[in-house]
Amino acid sequence: MPWTGDLDSAFRALADPTRRRLLDSLHEHNGQTLGELCVGMHQSRQAVSKHLGILEEAGLVTTERQGRNKLHHLNPAPINDIGERWIHRYERTRIDALSDLRRALEEHTMETTDRTEFRYTTYIRTTPERLWQVLTDPAFTTVWWQATTFDTTWEAGAPMTWNHRGMTLTHPEQVILEADPPHRLSFTWHTLSPEWAAMSGLDPDAQTAVVNEPRTVATFDLEPDGNLVKLTVTHSNLLPDGQVIQLITNGWPRVLSDLKSFVETGTV
């Protein structure tokens, strides 16, 4: 079952220490097979598989096929919701029932795959067509994406100018890579110019690191699931342990939380 915002299934899944250990393992090294996850668990393959099924049903784990292998990925969206709805709401620094998930909650950590790719999956109550419009129409992006709009035809190969808080970011390498509405959208990330770094408040060393890192790619996959849309955002071509990976780790969960809130409620 997909994550729909019901915290009951997430709390039930998190109640078991073995399942929390599996999440810890995926947090440390994402995209593992069942065999890899069994290492060090001291349980049968069948038992570990059952635990993973419960985590997947609760929306805490997502899977994908890669050849003959089934890879498991940590999905932090439910954990992020727990943090937003419970920990932050009551301004508590510690909740005993979640102590084993402290690392997963810090900075709203996103999914990682070998530290070169981030993946975040969430479920939004809407249609693919409506979500595509919200992802691309400047009247909507300026609301949920921190005053950001895009000048582009949204066709593969088309240039893409970013307008972010009064700053215009343009470069020949800023292009749409793939556009298949309302299913898949992929584009190169904006140019990390010194002006952008200064506007973002980065210190001089961080500015230098950001500007010298390779250009990255953001991909949005939209998949209908009943009256929901499964949205998977993958940010790839990241430099392991670089500055950009730290920035988007903090950025994507909040941006996508605002997107979900805007689509479902009209506000952020």
When the pLDDT of each residue in the chain is averaged and rounded to a whole number, the result is 83
pLDDT of 40 reads 79
Distance (Å) of CA 199 to CA 86, 147, 164, 210: 33, 14, 10, 13
Q: Each residue of 197-231: pLDDT tens digit?
A: 888 888 888 888 888 899 999 999 999 988 899 99
- Report the length, in residues, of the chain: 268
- Cβ neighbours for 178, distance < 8 A, ≥ 6 positions apart: 156, 184, 185, 186, 219
User: For residue 78, is pLDDT > 80?
Assistant: no
User: For residue 120, is pLDDT > 70?
Assistant: yes
User: For residue 192, is pLDDT > 70?
Assistant: yes
Q: Please give the Cα distance from 144 to 140 (Å, whole number).
A: 7
Among 81-85, 95-99, 201-205, 256-260, the minimum mean pLDDT is found in 95-99
- Cβ neighbours for 22, distance < 8 A, ≥ 6 positions apart: 37, 41, 48, 51, 52, 55, 61
| Across 91-97, average pLDDT | 43
Higher pLDDT, 150 or 266: 150
Under the banding of pLDDT at 50, 70 and 90, the label for residue 82 is low
CB atoms within 10 A of CB 65: 8
Q: Please give the Cα distance from 169 to 46 (Å, whole number).
A: 52
Q: Please give the Cα distance from 184 to 231 (Å, whole number).
A: 10
Distance (Å) of CA 10 to CA 36, 61, 94, 179: 23, 11, 18, 34
pLDDT of 101 reads 45
* Residue 25, token pair as written in the block: 């393992």
For the chain, the C-alpha Rg in angstroms (whole number) is: 19
Three-state SS string over the chain comes to: CCCCCCHHHHHHHHCCHHHHHHHHHHHHCCCECHHHHHCCCCCCHHHHHHHHHHHHHCCCEEEEEECCEEEEEECCHHHHHHHHHHHCCCCCCCCHHHHHHHHHHHHHCCEEECCCEEEEEEEECCCHHHHHHHHHCHHHHHHHCCCEEEECCCCCCCECEEEECCEEECCCCCEEEEEECCCEEEEECCCCCHHHHHHCCCCHHHHHHHHHCCCCEEEEEEEEECCEEEEEEEEECCCCCCHHHHHHHHHHHHHHHHHHHHHHHCCC
β-bridge partners, 168: 163
Which pTM does this prediction carry? 0.63
